[in-house]
Amino acid sequence: MSLDLVWHYAPSLLSGFAVTILCWAAGSALGLVLGFAIALLRRLHIPPLNGLIRAFIELFRGTPFLVQLFLIYAGGPSIGLKLSATAAGILGLGLYASAYFAEIFRAGFAAVPVGQIEAAASVGMTPSDTMIRVMLPGALIAAVPAIVNMLIILTKETVVLSIITVPELMYQVQTMAAETLTAFDAIFAMAIFYWILVEAVSRLGSRVETRVTAFLAHEARA
């Protein structure tokens, strides 16, 4: 392999990396917000709404991300949704992620021990105070490991965006490989970039996890 070649393509690789990070961060943020909203709406137990939510989750978990992305980018204009490749990519990633995050938050709420909710009821706390002060912290703490896991998966799902010509890292690497006919160098460079991103996310994740669970360390004893 030649370092010269990688060096030559460094600017486009770096800009691709920047676009990858942007799409990952924006898509994840959208997915977290939407997923959380879905999980909250679901707790209202309104039958037609719950049916809709279940259908949404089935749709986005049950079909390949690639297909969803095509439908949004290529099929979007026919329903008046004309988006740039990057915007479509972020929207697609966000919707896809939201289906998973909604389930993660639902499991988080289910993990809050019923006794803690009963304690709130026994002192006469309102349902909204109980939600904000008791259930939310417990649910979020329980959900942290699964959230970090999903964020890591999403870093790697961004490669799919290259298919709809989002100029992210995979796209730049493919261009480099095609122009130089050296697949190995390009892919090696790509692997390093993704490894950096995943490593950063997982380190940050375990830090957050350690912090939020610090005071639960001996809970098993109770």
How near is the Cβ of 107 to another protein at its closest, in Å?
Answer: 18
Q: Which residues are within 8 A (CB) of 111 and not within 5 positions of it... i.e. 6 or more apart?
A: 138, 139, 142, 143
At 63, the amino acid letter reads T
Residues 112/173, Cβ–Cβ less than 8 Å: no
Residue 98 or 130: the one with the smaller Cβ distance to another protein is 130
Residue 80 or 115: the one with the smaller Cβ distance to another protein is 115
Tokens at residue 161, please?
């965006």
For 11, list phi and psi in degrees, rounded to 5.
-55, -45
Interacting residues with another protein (CB under 8 A):
113, 115-116, 118-127, 129, 133-134, 137-138, 141, 215-219, 221-222
Residue 143 or 164: the one with the smaller Cβ distance to another protein is 143
Residue 82 or 133: the one with the smaller Cβ distance to another protein is 133
Q: Identify which of 25, 141, 139 has the alpha carbon closest to the alpha carbon of residue 86.
A: 25
How near is the Cβ of 101 to another protein at its closest, in Å?
Answer: 21
Query: Which single residue is written with the structure tokens 């979020």?
Result: 140
How near is the Cβ of 129 to another protein at its closest, in Å?
Answer: 5
Residue 78 or 122: the one with the smaller Cβ distance to another protein is 122
How near is the Cβ of 217 to another protein at its closest, in Å?
Answer: 6
Q: Identify which of 125, 169, 132, 144 has the alpha carbon closest to the alpha carbon of residue 24.
A: 169
DSSP letter at 162? G
Residue 48 or 215: the one with the smaller Cβ distance to another protein is 215
How near is the Cβ of 119 to another protein at its closest, in Å?
Answer: 4
Residue 129 or 179: the one with the smaller Cβ distance to another protein is 129
How near is the Cβ of 112 to another protein at its closest, in Å?
Answer: 10
As a whole number of angstroms, the distance between CA 109 and CA 75 comes to: 36
How near is the Cβ of 212 to another protein at its closest, in Å?
Answer: 8
Alpha helices in 63-215 (DSSP H): 65-75, 85-110, 114-122, 127-129, 136-157, 169-180, 183-213
Query: Which single residue is written with the structure tokens 């390093």?
Result: 192
